[in-house]
Amino acid sequence: MTQAYVALEGGHVIEGRGRAPGTARGELVFTTAYTGYEESLTDPSYEEQILTFSYPLIGNYGVREERFEDDRVHPRAALAKEFTADVAEWLESEGVPAVDHLDTREIVTDIRDEGAMKCGIAVGEDVTEEDALEQLEACKGMSEHTDIGAQVSVDEETVYGADNDGADVALVDCGAKGSIVDSLVARDATVHVLPYDAAADDVAAIDPDILFISNGPGDPANYEQAIGLVQEFVEDTPVAGICLGQQIVAEALGGSTEKMTFGHRGVNQPVLDLESGQVVMTTQNHGYTVAEPGDHLEVTQINVNDDTPEGLDGVVHDVITRQYHPEANPGPEDTLDFFDDVLAMADERASTAVPADD
């Protein structure tokens, strides 16, 4: 059996079975999702993290590329009670260490009680506990990556749905899931995917009907360029955001964000709409949340478990954001109408536009 060691921030080292070789370090988090392992592993929001699956068997329906949210695996390593051979071989081909035969209940409990923590992984024929501890020490010496967006964003503008007749959407790619683009294109939008550090001139050249800030990894306060874009365009252009995008919009409009103890990651997070009283189940993957919305945003939806903001609307400006993933891959499709609401802002903008003088 290939040796594998997982070193936790408190100093505890867990031995498991190595399924894909290599060493890794990063923030240890968990997801409660019981399906959608392909989508989770290709979600850019997991960049620089080590992902623990709380569901015991990962891989029971194979690996199919059409389910991927991006073109590569983003977690630095993956942990489970048991990985099937299909998933183990996929992770090995991606150069991502994988460990199973672990008591993931204990790991999840540690994260829940102590918070997301730094972690070191070592997998291979001759690795030792010391190799994992060295990775942990290296991780402890790292400050949070302030430019993580560069690892997950496009390098230049990419257009989807160019032949569509609907709204033009400028999507700032801070680590966007592919399903966000698909959901907009399916609604006849043309989506201009821009780098996370796009300049105001890049957005102005598109003259979009919607400025959309995507999901992604890391601290929203570090996405200074995206924050500036919201401030620049919100007066005249409707703004939307998902996950990290909600946090960036809040930072831009006078609100504040904070890191959560262990975040929300799973496909069964209950969200209450404050106006209708309806509760929907949602897919989530985030470690930060909006602490205060500020004066320009109002909270319209909250998490049933901890009352954190799940939806924000603009008080004065046309703004709508969601902390969860309405495109929900993996997960429930209870909230797909969010994209209809976003594009409705573009329709309203077009109907109230002042015609140019002849």
Residues forming the annotated binding site for L-glutamine? 45, 216, 218, 244, 247, 285, 287-288
Q: Shortest CA distance to 232 belongs to which of 208, 214, 215?
A: 208
Give the residues across from 322 on adjacent strands: 242, 311
Q: Which two tokens stand for residue 337?
A: 């109408």
Supply the DSSP symbol for 235: T
Give the pairing of strands 3-8 and 168-173.
unpaired
337-352 vs 178-185: helix crossing angle, rounded to 10: 50
Q: Shortest CA distance to 195 belongs to which of 183, 187, 203?
A: 203
Q: Mark the binding-site residues, compressed into ranges.
A: 45, 216, 218, 244, 247, 285, 287-288
Burial label, 93 (beta-carbon count in 10 A; 0-12, 13-18, 19+):
exposed
Provide CB contacts within 8 A for 117, sequence distance 6+. 8, 9, 10, 27, 28, 110, 111
Looking up tokens 């390098």 gives: 155
Distance CA 67, CA 56 (A): 21
Active-site hit among 139, 243, 264, 286: 243
Query: Any catalytic annotation for residue 9?
Result: no
Active-site hit among 27, 38, 82, 327: 327
Contact 257, 251 (CB under 8 A): yes
Query: Any catalytic annotation for residue 325?
Result: yes
Distance CA 182, CA 177 (A): 9
Contact 226, 213 (CB under 8 A): yes
Distance CA 135, CA 123 (A): 11
Query: Any catalytic annotation for residue 243?
Result: yes
Q: Phi/psi of residue 229, each to 5°?
A: -65, -45
Q: Shortest CA distance to 98 belongs to which of 122, 67, 120, 77?
A: 77
Question: Which of the residues are catalytic?
Answer: 243, 325, 327
